[in-house]
Amino acid sequence: MAGFWTGAAALATAGRRGRRWPQLLMRSVALWTVKHVPHYSRRYLVVSRTLCSAGYDSNEKTFDKILIANRGEIACRVIKTCKKMGIKTVAIHSDVDASSVHVKMADEAVCVGPAPTSKSYLNMNAIMDAVRSTRAQAVHPGYGFLSENKEFAKRLAAADAIFIGPDTHAIQAMGDKIESKLLAKKAKVNTIPGFDGVVKDADEAVRIAREIGYPVMIKASAGGGGKGMRIAWDDEETRDGFRFSSQEAASSFGDDRLLIEKFIDNPRHIEIQVLGDKHGNALWLNERECSIQRRNQKVVEEAPSIFLDSETRRAMGEQAVALAKAVNYSSAGTVEFLVDSKKNFYFLEMNTRLQVEHPVTECITGLDLVQEMIRVAKGYPLRHKQADIPINGWAVECRVYAEDPYKSFGLPSVGRLSQYEEPIHLPGVRVDSGIQPGSDISIYYDPMISKLITYGSDRTEALKRMEDALDSYVIRGVTHNIALLREVIINSRFIEGDINTKFLSDVYPDGFKGHQLTETERNQFLAVASSLFVASQLRAQHFQDHESSRVPIVKPQVASWELSVKLHDEIHTVVVSSSGPTFSVEVDGSKLNVTSTWNLASPLLSVNVDGTQRTIQCLSREAGGNMSIQFLGTVYKVRILTKLAAELNKFMLEKAAEDTSSILRSPMPGVVVAISVKPGDLVAEGQEICVIEAMKMQNSMTAGKTGKVKSVHCKAGDTVGEGDLLVELE
């Protein structure tokens, strides 16, 4: 009973129920399909619960044509609402994005330059030319890129095009962290102690940090999204943080100014969605809990927060609105707070744009925030009062990234999506994406694959639906972070609400290792894997039986299969016997029954293990018995051999592992920003060797041992792939 994206099957149900809903919360149902998009890219929108006035009024004229100055999922998201409102759309794209989903969805498309963002999605001249040539009346910037660029908004105004966002005064005031903090203080918003000026150099950064007291947060004045942000616990980390943060800030925002403030240890990151119009009205649309982060970037978000009580929520909301009114804010925006264990909250920053995690707010309020932004940009007043804004149900969002979660909780992965299926067949699931099978995840842009949102009547239902959705999400061709996302949402601390921004490092101090199987889960997995092996053998035998042959082959009927299964360097003896679709499996003395349709051609397989239903994915099966199976979100590699094959395998030589102590390989694809050593240099363990930039984040690569540099295989400016050799030591 919520506003979420789902399949067409929900439409009829929503329509039937609509006749019985009370007038105050009248539900409106809107459905459209996207033209000119392949069948696997089509989306349906069912707004199955909205406020009485939240539906679109066809007599309310806004714009004839809107250009979306963005790419990927957020461009697709904006286009969907525009189509609902009867507005034509223009997509912009780089040359490598010419076949992207957002380009196919739009009514028109204009190429604005080559792949690098500085030459395309940040190329104001090319985008302004696109606005003029297409005669777009307004521009929606999405998030990132030029969404908080006051110069872009000014140039649009000069060209008589409407910027769908706040005016330039609000962008400047809130986009500059120093100015925004001063304004927040003036508006009586709680602020974090810190230095209110621009930090000039590393020496001044150390002096300021000592005055404030460690730990401190160094962050880009014009920043956002975790970029240009570092935590420092001592002088050395402050110097390094100043260097890396200023470089990241210059790369991401074209502004290397930094500020320093007190770092609040173990805080929660809770933000308030605000909405204002050009008539002095402003609302707060409840909060979003965004504490699960890695490298200061959000991974899991939910609305509402399990931590806040109604009094704290109202106080945060009223302060957020006070800040918005102080700058005459007119659009959708977000005021972010840090909240300590005693529910004291402090202003962090205001994002003058649509947030990545806005769908969870839409789910619990029924509002279409993109539609509200368009209405406000046209000059219409808000249609709601503060008392009209409900908290109805619970919504959770997981950011699905093309990342390796086993490396620093997520280093970027690149590649082409060879297979891709979203779990929109499940109830209460919404997927905001801008990709399709065959799409490329490249080093040029953010590695986000999609935003996976689930909705339920309460938090328990929303989390269970998220668990099922993650199990049913098919992503092949790139490494992804589904294993980490699934572990977070089933973690006991997360379920209890005991979370903060250090959650990942606290729960996984030695790094993420995947799901750790209990004995019961291990036996279930071994039973499922063995059943899969036998099912594939029986299918192959069935295929051979139907092959024409001059001499009929009589095959003995096998009553049971005795197998040797290797998992995590442990060998297990498994005996499998079949009876139709059910396999009886004995694993190390335990007996289990495994039932399924055994459709081995399907990427998803639903199996029942002694009454427990599991959704698994068999990623690969090799003739030598090696299998990769996604089970409980984590991919496990097993080797299954018959008893005879296992006996013979003992005589096979194993490949020796590579000695990696003297070499440095790139842990991710990216661009070499700097090389700090040359052949002949002596380096100490932990010393910086080079800096790799990937997806606008800079990462310092260090020596694994003390030694002399033998050779350097890269130079500044080189593009490197994951696993490429960078430096060798003697």
Rounded-to-integer distance, Cα 499 and Cα 506, Å? 10
Look at the block and give the residue holding tokens 């932990």.
686
Contacts of 654 (CB under 8 A, 6+ apart): none
Q: 148, 349, 357, 362: which one is catalytic?
A: 349
Rounded-to-integer distance, Cα 700 and Cα 411, Å? 13
Q: Would you call 448 helix, strand, or coil by DSSP?
A: strand
Give kind and range of the element (H or E) at residue 354.
none
Rounded-to-integer distance, Cα 712 and Cα 725, Å? 9
What is the distance, to the nearest Å, from the Cα of residue 548 to the centroid of all Cα atoms in its chain?
A: 51
Q: Which two tokens stand for residue 301?
A: 């978000």
CB 170 within 8 Å of CB 327: yes
Contacts of 222 (CB under 8 A, 6+ apart): 175, 176, 177, 249, 253, 254, 255, 257
Backbone angles phi, psi at 299, to 5 degrees: -120, -45
Distances in whole angstroms, Cα of residue 277 to Cα of each of 63, 325, 329, 332, 537? 17, 10, 7, 9, 65
Rounded-to-integer distance, Cα 373 and Cα 277, Å? 9
Rounded-to-integer distance, Cα 576 and Cα 527, Å? 8
Strand order of the sheet with strand 216-220?
229-232, 216-220, 258-262
Altogether, the residues listed in the chain come to a count of 730
Q: Is 410 left (phi over 0), alpha (psi -120 to 50) or beta?
A: left
CA-atom Rg of the chain in angstroms:
28
Q: Which two tokens stand for residue 709?
A: 């540099």
639 burial (CB, 10 Å; 0-12 / 13-18 / 19+) is middle
Q: Is 336 a catalytic residue?
A: no
Q: Would you call 355 helix, strand, or coil by DSSP?
A: coil
State which amino acid sits at residue 156.
L
Query: Active-site residues: which are they?
Result: 349
